[in-house]
Amino acid sequence: MARAAESPGIAAGINQIEGYLLLQSEREAARERARRLTGRLDWLTSAQRAEVERAYVQDQLAVTEQTLRTVVRRCEELRAEYQEVYRTLRHRLLLACLLGAAALAGGLAAALTVR
């Protein structure tokens, strides 16, 4: 999705919707994993089954949240590293262009003085 042309408010809204959908998807996946787990434990009562499923979903969502926080932190670190590399490359390119222009101007000046 090309978000560069979108206003910050629209981009933030889209990010919120994506986050909400991701959370709902993960919540449903955790519920399904909990149901599969408790389905193998046929000795549980209905109340125990519900409690195990609730605890499992809660734990899974906590793990997912921690994982996402770790990924976000690493993305921010990589963004900072890449921005620094990009900044360094831009400075080098600018310096090379300036040196090339100076050399060209010097060569042109020398050629004009010889004539």
Quick: pLDDT tens for 48-96: 999 999 999 999 999 999 999 999 999 999 999 999 999 999 999 999 9
Tokens representing residue 98 in the block: 């300036």
Is 60 among the domain residues? yes
**Helix intervals (H) in 1-115:** 8-39, 46-114
Is 7 among the domain residues? no
Is 8 among the domain residues? no
DSSP assigned state of 6: S
Q: For the chain, what is the domain count?
A: 1
Is 97 among the domain residues? yes
Containing structural domain, residue 74: 14-37+44-114
Is 5 among the domain residues? no
pTM of the prediction?
A: 0.66
**What band does 114 get if pLDDT is binned at 50, 70 and 90?**
confident
Residue 52 identity: V
Those residues whose C-beta lies under 8 Å from the C-beta of residue 6, and which sit 6 or more positions away, are: 14
d(CA 48, CA 79): 46
